[in-house]
Structure 1
Amino acid sequence: MSAAAEPTPTRGPARPPALLGLPLGVGFLMPALVMVALFLLVPFAWIVAVSFTNQSLLGGQAQFVGFANYARMFDAASWLPGGMGYSLIVTGVFVLGSLAGQVGLGLLLALLFFRRRGPWREVVFTLVTLCWILPDVPIAFGWLSFLDRDFGLLNGILSALHLGRPDWTLDHPLTAIILFNIWRGTAFSMLLFSAALEGIPPSYLEVASVSGARFTQQLRDIILPSIQAQVLSALVLITIWTFNTFGPFLITGGGPLNKTDIVAIHTYRVAFKFGDWGLGTSIAMVVMLLNLLLTAAYLLASRRGARDARA
């Protein structure tokens, strides 16, 4: 008589590995925390402190002046003529022009190559991405040559079309830096929208095509609603980046006659050209608060969009 087979013991659920102790975890995080403190928190605290003093680039003993720098910044007598108010107006035009160009051109390129493969797509995407990742200095020198009045390629094309030879950096400096920034930053929105378009189910567009919907109707009723979150991200992020960019300084230096004195250049000019660190850091604080407001608006809109999508 054979012995009864013993039941095979079943294994219980695998135990999770023991968690690292708190001191060891803090030890692993410490290098990152030190770097954040040195390069983010300490400079931020220094800017806050200096904005309440009359610190000068020339040195000397700084004195606490309270909110005097902020009062000088918002002084009605100097608010518009070359002051912070004029700089905000120039920055607003610069941001709106760059935003419309980058988002519009990025969406156009993404739609042109939507679900298309081949060498032309790779060439265009590579060239546009190179415009985004190449260093500022050689790009700026290239654009100065491109915009040259007598020998620039842009004026050569315009002259061939009998449209004249304008001096872009002298007569149209704000338009010149807007064109530069659109050319420089279109890659981000193009890549973002291309990835978003790939996520649209093909059946949506196929059904619309069979139903006789024109492309404009598909764009309005299917494509744009499907990439709404990405459009919002592009609008807010490009606004923040453009608001803080310093690249146009390499082309115009903020001139002529402060016509391209965007906020980043204005802050640099006050702090380092005029040597007024107190006023310069107070401007930087206001700019930082504006960036925080834009970021908060972006986060609220993103959460509301996610909530609506779940509903």
Structure 2
Amino acid sequence: MTATLVGKHNLKQHGLKQQRLTDQSGNSRRSATEGWRRRAPLLPALIFTVLVTQLPFVVTLWYSLRSWNLLRTDGDIFVGLRNYADIFLDSTFRGAALNSVVITLGCVFAAMVLGTFFAILLDRSFKGRGVVRTMLITPFLIMPVAGATLWSVSMLNPSFGLVNWFIGLAGIAPVDWTSSYPVVSILMALVWQWTPFMMLLVLAGLQAQPKDVLEAAQIDGAGWWKTFTFVTLPQLRRYIELGVLLGAIYVVNTFDQIYLMTAGGPGTASANLPFYIYQRAFLGFDIGQAAAMGVVVVIATIVVATFALRLIFRSFDTKD
């Protein structure tokens, strides 16, 4: 009798276990179906993104492994990694890489400092603040080609540029900026264009900080500088990091200002990597080496952007 009851109990427990497994399996299938139902509308966009970004990159990889010069009819042969070895031995490539770093870091740093300064000014209430804010934002809305032409012709022209007129008031002789200081000239135009972007990000951070914290700092007797250093600046850290990352990603691909203001010159003194790749591909007709340079630039950009994104996500995950 006892054995019979034990057997019935075991069968019941086994049946309950099977039912739970069946329910779990059904829930898992429903969850997977629901997940695919939600992802399905995004599949066309994903397929389009792969077609327009990844396939060209794969073709570029293939070109980078071949020696293909459009001026040689006997070209287009497989050479493996020789193109990569050649570009790293190329002093012009190293100089262009150094210019890319200098232009990117210089532009992002100067634009962030000026943007923070203007954001602090606009965070205060004063008459005509809306007009001033609109005027400060305007440079970012101008097309890069128009901005580069403006700086090359109206601002930095050695004969009638406004910069030379301004320094002439102090008795300084006129300077041919684009010839004597090509990288500085490009930096002027880039900082002028990107300062409004940094200003908007920092201004958003300033307006998002809790007012009660600022009031508590004032009650404790903290001055403006201590309040900014120990309260406001930590609050702005995420916005500053985001501005630096986005600015660096875009500025490293600068082409318009270099092409229109200095054409990479004198010689290749102001050429960055995108402009030098353009020269190798469309002026030197060396498709293999240009493709290899493009692959190196893409990989380096991905590595730097991934590292920066991890730092930003880590700061967002940190609880204040």
| TM-score normalised over the length of structure 2 | 0.83
Aligned partner of 1:219 in structure 2 is: 228
Q: CA RMSD in A?
A: 2.2
Q: How many angstroms apart in 2 are the aligned matches of 1:173 and 1:74?
A: 24
Aligned partner of 1:275 in structure 2 is: 285
Q: Which amino acid aligns with 1:232?
A: E
Q: How many angstroms apart in 2 are the aligned matches of 1:24 and 1:99?
A: 39
Q: How many angstroms apart in 2 are the aligned matches of 1:128 and 1:267?
A: 34
- Contact residue 178 and residue 262 of structure 2 kept, 8 A: yes
* Equivalent of 2:263 in 245, 253, 268: 253
Mapped pair 1:128 → 2:141: no
* TM-fit CA distance, 1:162: 1.6
* Equivalent of 1:264 in 274, 285, 305: 274
1:272–1:226 CA distance, 2 compared to 1 (3 A): same
1:214–1:71 CA distance, 2 compared to 1 (3 A): same
- Contact residue 198 and residue 243 of structure 2 kept, 8 A: yes
Aligned partner of 1:206 in structure 2 is: 215
Q: Which amino acid aligns with 1:285?
A: V
- Contact residue 236 and residue 294 of structure 1 kept, 8 A: no
Q: Deviations over 1:181-220 (max 9, x none)?
A: 0001111111111111111111222222233322111111
1:58–1:132 CA distance, 2 compared to 1 (3 A): farther
Q: Which amino acid aligns with 1:129?
A: I
Q: How many angstroms apart in 1 are the aligned matches of 2:127 and 2:49?
A: 44
Q: Which amino acid aligns with 1:97?
A: G
Q: How many angstroms apart in 1 are the aligned matches of 2:303 and 2:243?
A: 16
Q: Deviations over 1:51-97 (max 9, x none)?
A: 1111234475522110010010112xx3x3xx211112222221221
* Equivalent of 1:98 in 102, 107, 110: 107
Q: Which moved more, 1:50-59 or 1:292-301?
A: 50-59
Mapped pair 1:149 → 2:154: no
- Contact residue 148 and residue 260 of structure 2 kept, 8 A: yes
* TM-fit CA distance, 1:274: 0.8
> What residue ranges of structure 1 are gaps of 5+ in the alignment?
1-18
Q: Which amino acid aligns with 1:136?
A: P
* TM-fit CA distance, 1:294: 1.4
- Contact residue 240 and residue 291 of structure 1 kept, 8 A: yes
| TM-score normalised over the length of structure 1 | 0.85
Aligned runs of 1:112-127 on 2, under 5 Å?
112-116=121-125, 118-119=127-128, 121-127=129-135
Aligned partner of 1:185 in structure 2 is: 194
* TM-fit CA distance, 1:99: 1.6
- Structure number with higher helix proportion: 2
Aligned runs of 1:295-310 on 2, under 5 Å?
295-309=305-319
* TM-fit CA distance, 1:23: 8.3
Q: How many angstroms apart in 2 are the aligned matches of 1:289 and 1:118?
A: 49
* Equivalent of 1:233 in 234, 237, 242: 242
Q: How many angstroms apart in 2 are the aligned matches of 1:306 and 1:263?
A: 32
> What residue ranges of structure 2 are gaps of 5+ in the alignment?
1-32
Identity of aligned residues (%): 27
The structure that has the greater radius of gyration is: 2
* TM-fit CA distance, 1:231: 1.1
Q: Deviations over 1:152-197 (max 9, x none)?
A: 1111111112222111011111110011100011111111111111
* Equivalent of 2:58 in 31, 45, 49: 45
Q: Deviations over 1:99-128 (max 9, x none)?
A: 221100110011111142642x32232223
Q: How many angstroms apart in 2 are the aligned matches of 1:309 and 1:20?
A: 33
